[in-house]
Amino acid sequence: MTSRIPGADEFTSRPMPREELLAQISPSLPLHQIADDHEQVDALTYEVVRHRLWAITQEMGETLRRMSGSHVVTESNDFNFSICDELGEQVQVGTYNIGLIGSMDLAITWTLRNRSDNPGIAEGDMFLCNDPWIGGGLHQNDAAILAPIFHDGKLFGWTTAIAHQVDLGGPRPGSFSPSAQDVFGEAVPTPPMKVVRGGVLQRDIADAWVRRSRLPHLVGLDLRAKIAANKNAGDQILRLITKYGADTVKAVMRRMMNDAERRLRAKLANLPDGTWTAVGYQEQSGTGDRNLHAIKVAMTKEGEKLVFDFRGTTGQTGIINCPYPGLRAGIVFTMLPLLAGDIPWAAGGLMRCFEIVTDEDTITNASFPAAVGKGPFGPAWGAGNLVAEVLARMLDAEPDHRTDVQSICNGTTDLCVVSGVDVRGGASKRFVSPIFDVMAGGYGAQVHHDGVDTGGRLIIPSARAPDVEMTEYLYPLVALWRREQTDSGGPGRQRGGMSGSVCYVQHPDQSGRMSLVVSGNGKVANQNVGLAGGYPGNSQLDLVVRGIDGPQLADVASIPAGLDELGGQVEVLPAEGESDLGPGDALYLHWQAGGGYGDPLLREEDSVGEDVRQARVSAEAARDVYGVVVAEDGEVDADATAATRVRLRQRRATDAGVTGLSTEEISVADLSEARRLDDNLAVVDSTVVCVHCSTRIGPLEGGAFFDSLARRETAPTEAGPHIWHDPSEYVDAEIVFRQLLCPGCLTAVNSRVVPVDHPLPHDDYRAWN
């Protein structure tokens, strides 16, 4: 909160103690509150009201999806909604984009502090907000409607509905500008304004809102959808109050949050205490940049509480910034699915269980007027990936929670906004749309399961990609292919879920050039990391192929099945930048898969054989990465496999400078009494040992054993054919495939593609409860 624009700091919102908040709300706004000890609801009423609140939120989602006109909402479910108490704590949230409710409470508290006096908050009002510093949305494209609920003249609570809008103005179609110097080069952030007054949509405000957009009709339709969803929910909550009384409903709301908090704290209490660290990167801060920008987290878990410490993260720069609400949302959208899948999402209660420590003016806590259009899928998501990683390592060390361990899913979106004028059939229609096929990201592998192939998004549990036919109907494109990409899933004992690729050309009746705005990370320093020695999923890759052999499919007898059959010149699209697509070109997007879990040399050979038969892994990668030899007929050659796996271990040993590797069958000692840290490591008498060969690696205390692991650094492609071969295309830093290995049997315990100066992990497992 150190903006160089005087007055800008008023437009920020941070969690604050209840008393402090109450003191800042105008006394002219009566609040419905119940006494702190008022949790006296019988079990039966509690159940009935709780079920009803749940049903109401479900209905909000259905209303929004049914009414919205925006492709983002209808085809990709990039929206959410919540029911909150009078001070904005969220009692029930939806299962759509969880990031979008991650800081909704902050938007409400800001509104209470700054709108209760003037223009006032009254019955029938609704507020519209898309200011990422205030909360609700994570960037200007996320537009929220906050609707107070009044009963008996008092503010009883709030409902909220929020959705991503494809375009809200700014210099570039899609409101996302890779060359923005600051927020003034992006869409305008709008603090909460009263768009509905006394139940009436304010036409002047609504017009000002849609006027900024290149797609005013869609924005107008979405505005009405969100208002209707809130109206519907508010009416139903009032009906509930009429029947059960306001105090009872409020008591149920409070108990739902307390219950969620209690359950999450109980779960935390059962997990080991310690500090886990992770570092990840944003590649390029904007058009022309060639640097990596680090986000750092150290998560400390003690007793029933989590602290996420982001100090040391890069200072704000370029367009890869998010304000504080975005960082908080990044934690929430990872924590809810990973830690609270079995706890009702009374998010207000869950959010009480963690604290954030951060420097000011960083890429994950940016001050005004930093460019923040990329906030959600850049730094917020990047921070979320790191949170997922440290949570998984903590969970892996507690046997009851190993089923909750998941390697990192696709580490961000692969944004490509296409715009132009559709002239098919003699029409002339402006269009702007991101390519949504990229929603089909791979899920990370789990301890007992492969990752889900083209499974969607962790942070949007109900994510969706459109049918190719819908895309071709709406936009003047033809998809040469859309498929699951063989070898894309992170290799591991459990394989990461595959991602896909799509390749578009212009429709034969289309002419002229379309403009492209691209933004995507994970092109060199993989974000979809594996755990316990599992390898990362594929590098994200976006290309324009210029001057292909069969432009717009004219007079072709065959359809290209891959990049090698397209002809033409490949132009690699940067992490952040702009390009265009001409009639003779093809656009290729290959988004991110999930990371693997465990060492791929330990994967069951029959599973690898089946992967090859089902086109999930190529025979070459099976041999070179998994060490499994699959014959032409699809059968695994057991002898050749055993020999290949030994050879691959020897190669690791040579690279790591380890001598004396035994070629004997690896024997596993009885470690049944030992405490397991993950797939490979266990603790015996405060010493970390390898569960595969019983080698004593080093002391547990302070993470000292990491220094005793063998270390191998090779070219990135050593991790597999799915890793990009030429990092210098994007960044100046030297990039390596780094493996930390058991010095005895050379089993990988940590495998990642990182800049050469990437720090060694230092996980400090302090105590088990």
Partner 1 sequence: MPYALGIDVGGTFTDAVASDGAGRIVSAKTPTTPPNREVGVMKAIEDLAAELGIGVGELLSQTDYIAHGTTASINALVQGEVADVGLIATKGHRDAIYIMNAEGRTLGRSAHEIQDTLRQRKPAPLIPKYRALEVTERVDYTGDVLVPLDEDEVRRVAQTLVDQGVEAIAVCLLWSFKNPAHEQRVRQLIHEIAPELYVTLSSEVSPRIREFSRTSTTIMNAQVGPKLRTYLLPLQKQLEEGGLRGPLLVMQSEGGTITADRAPEHAITTIGSVLSGGVIGGKRLAEQLGHRNVITTDVGGTTFLAGLIVDGEPVMAPGSIVNQFPINAATIRVHTIGSGGGALASVDAGGNLRLGPQSAEAVPGPACYGNGGTRPTNTDANLVLGILSERGLLGGRKPLRMDLAREAIRVHVAEPLGLTVEEAAIAIHEVQNAQAGDLLRRAVVQAGFDPRDFVAYAFGGAGPAHCAGYCQDLGVREVVVPLGPVASAFSAYGLAASDVSLSAELSDPSAFPVDHTVLESHYARLEADLQRALDRQKVKFHDVVLEREVDLRYSMQVTELSTAVPDGTFTERTGDEVLERFEEQYERINGSGSGFREAGVQAITYRMRAKASLGFPVELPRVPRGDGEDPSEALLGQRDVCLDSQAGFVPTPVYDYSLLRAGHVLQGPAIVEVPTTVVVVPGGVTGTVDHLGNLVLRYQGGQPS
What residues numbered 322-341 form the site for partner 1, per CB under 8 A?
337-338, 341
Residue pair 646/745 in contact (Cβ under 8 Å)? The answer is no
Give the CA distances from residue 472 to residues 387, 466, 504, 561, in Å, rounded to whole numbers and listed in that order: 38, 10, 10, 18
Task: Compute the least distance from the CB of residue 51 to partner 1, in Å.
Answer: 6
Give the CA distances from residue 459 to residues 128, 381, 431, in Å, rounded to whole numbers and listed in that order: 24, 9, 27
Nearer to partner 1 by Cβ, of 51 and 725: the residue is 51
Q: Burial of 442 by CB count in 10 Å (0-12 exposed, 13-18 middle, 19+ buried)?
A: buried
Q: Is 79 in the site for partner 1 (CB under 8 A)?
A: no
Name which position in 17, 19, 399, 473 contacts partner 1 (CB under 8 A): 473
Nearer to partner 1 by Cβ, of 309 and 422: the residue is 422
Nearer to partner 1 by Cβ, of 18 and 217: the residue is 217
Nearer to partner 1 by Cβ, of 76 and 526: the residue is 76
Please name which of 214, 63, 60, 230 lies closest in space to residue 141, comparing C-alpha atoms. 214
Between residue 685 and residue 744, which ones bind partner 1 under the rule CB under 8 A?
none
d(C-alpha 118, C-alpha 103), whole Å = 23
Strand duo 200-201 + 748-755: pairing: unpaired
Between residue 253 and residue 272, which ones bind partner 1 under the rule CB under 8 A?
259-260, 262-263, 266
Q: Is 211 in the site for partner 1 (CB under 8 A)?
A: no
Task: Compute the least distance from the CB of residue 96 to partner 1, in Å.
Answer: 9
Task: Compute the least distance from the CB of residue 56 to partner 1, in Å.
Answer: 9
Residue type, 724: W
Name which position in 35, 44, 664, 686 contacts partner 1 (CB under 8 A): 44
Strand duo 541-546 + 586-590: pairing: antiparallel
Task: Compute the least distance from the CB of residue 161 to partner 1, in Å.
Answer: 13
d(C-alpha 177, C-alpha 186), whole Å = 6
Give the CA distances from residue 434 to residues 204, 354, 567, 589, in Å, rounded to whole numbers and listed in that order: 29, 34, 26, 12
Q: Is 202 in the site for partner 1 (CB under 8 A)?
A: no
Nearer to partner 1 by Cβ, of 51 and 647: the residue is 51
Q: Burial of 40 by CB count in 10 Å (0-12 exposed, 13-18 middle, 19+ buried)?
A: exposed
Task: Compute the least distance from the CB of residue 74 to partner 1, in Å.
Answer: 3
Q: Is 469 in the site for partner 1 (CB under 8 A)?
A: yes
Task: Compute the least distance from the CB of residue 669 to partner 1, in Å.
Answer: 31
Task: Compute the least distance from the CB of residue 203 to partner 1, in Å.
Answer: 11
Tokens at residue 68, please? 């919205």
Name which position in 15, 54, 567, 671 contacts partner 1 (CB under 8 A): 54
DSSP-derived secondary structure for 537-604: -PPPEEEEEES-SSGGGTT-SS---SGGGT-SEEEE--SEEEEEE-TT-EEEEE---PPPBS-GGGS-
Task: Compute the least distance from the CB of residue 439 to partner 1, in Å.
Answer: 5
Q: Is 470 in the site for partner 1 (CB under 8 A)?
A: yes
Between residue 343 and residue 362, which ones bind partner 1 under the rule CB under 8 A?
343-345
Nearer to partner 1 by Cβ, of 23 and 55: the residue is 55
d(C-alpha 93, C-alpha 360), whole Å = 29
Name which position in 197, 224, 402, 762 contacts partner 1 (CB under 8 A): 224
3-state secondary structure (DSSP) of residue 734: coil
Q: Is 78 in the site for partner 1 (CB under 8 A)?
A: no
Task: Compute the least distance from the CB of residue 657 to partner 1, in Å.
Answer: 39
Q: Which residue in this structure is represented by tokens 């266990």?
A: 682
Give the interface segment with partner 1, choosing from 55-63, 99-107, 109-117, 275-283 (CB under 8 A): 55-63
The kind and range of the H/E element at 259 are helix 246-269
Q: Is 201 in the site for partner 1 (CB under 8 A)?
A: yes
Name which position in 95, 179, 650, 695 contacts partner 1 (CB under 8 A): 95
Task: Compute the least distance from the CB of residue 68 to partner 1, in Å.
Answer: 7
Task: Compute the least distance from the CB of residue 165 to partner 1, in Å.
Answer: 12
Largest alpha-carbon pair distance within the chain? 81
Please name which of 585, 617, 612, 593 lies closest in space to residue 480, comparing C-alpha atoms. 585
d(C-alpha 211, C-alpha 205), whole Å = 10
Q: Is 47 in the site for partner 1 (CB under 8 A)?
A: yes
Q: Is 244 in the site for partner 1 (CB under 8 A)?
A: no
Give the interface segment with partner 1, choosing from 59-67, 150-158, 175-183, 641-649 (CB under 8 A): 59-67
Nearer to partner 1 by Cβ, of 483 and 651: the residue is 483
Tell me how far apart the terminal alpha carbons of the chain are, to the nearest angstrom: 38
φ, ψ of residue 227 to 5 degrees: the values are -65, -45
φ, ψ of residue 549 to 5 degrees: the values are -65, -40
Nearer to partner 1 by Cβ, of 181 and 486: the residue is 486
Between residue 408 and residue 437, which ones bind partner 1 under the rule CB under 8 A?
425
Task: Compute the least distance from the CB of residue 441 to partner 1, in Å.
Answer: 8
Give the interface segment with partner 1, choosing from 45-53, 129-137, 319-327, 638-646 (CB under 8 A): 45-53
Nearer to partner 1 by Cβ, of 264 and 292: the residue is 264
Q: Is 512 in the site for partner 1 (CB under 8 A)?
A: no
Please name which of 643, 632, 535 lies closest in space to residue 593, comparing C-alpha atoms. 535
Cα dihedral across residues 145, 149, 153, 155: positive or negative: negative
Between residue 272 and residue 301, which ones bind partner 1 under the rule CB under 8 A?
none
Residues ≥6 apart with Cβ < 8 Å to 678: 393, 396, 397, 405, 531, 532, 749
Task: Compute the least distance from the CB of residue 59 to partner 1, in Å.
Answer: 6
Name which position in 26, 33, 58, 181 contacts partner 1 (CB under 8 A): 58
Binding pattern for the stretch 602-631 against partner 1, x by CB under 8 A and - elsewhere: -----------xxx----------------
Q: Is 472 in the site for partner 1 (CB under 8 A)?
A: yes
Task: Compute the least distance from the CB of residue 46 to partner 1, in Å.
Answer: 8
Tokens at residue 89, please? 């704590």
Between residue 436 and residue 465, which ones bind partner 1 under the rule CB under 8 A?
439-441, 446, 449, 452-458, 461-465
Q: Is 67 in the site for partner 1 (CB under 8 A)?
A: yes
Please name which of 750, 721, 757, 761 lies closest in space to residue 736, comparing C-alpha atoms. 757
Nearer to partner 1 by Cβ, of 75 and 718: the residue is 75
Q: Which residue in this structure is represented by tokens 């890069």?
A: 314
Nearer to partner 1 by Cβ, of 95 and 287: the residue is 95
Q: How far is CA 592 from the centre of its chain?
A: 11
Q: How many CB atoms lie within 10 A of CB 309?
A: 18
Q: Burial of 367 by CB count in 10 Å (0-12 exposed, 13-18 middle, 19+ buried)?
A: buried
How many amino acids of this chain bind partner 1 (CB under 8 A)? 98
Give the interface segment with partner 1, choosing from 177-185, 215-223, 286-294, 673-681 (CB under 8 A): 215-223
Task: Compute the least distance from the CB of residue 124 to partner 1, in Å.
Answer: 13
Nearer to partner 1 by Cβ, of 241 and 683: the residue is 241
Tokens at residue 399, please? 């046997």
157: β partners:
85, 149
Between residue 541 and residue 600, which ones bind partner 1 under the rule CB under 8 A?
553, 556-559, 561
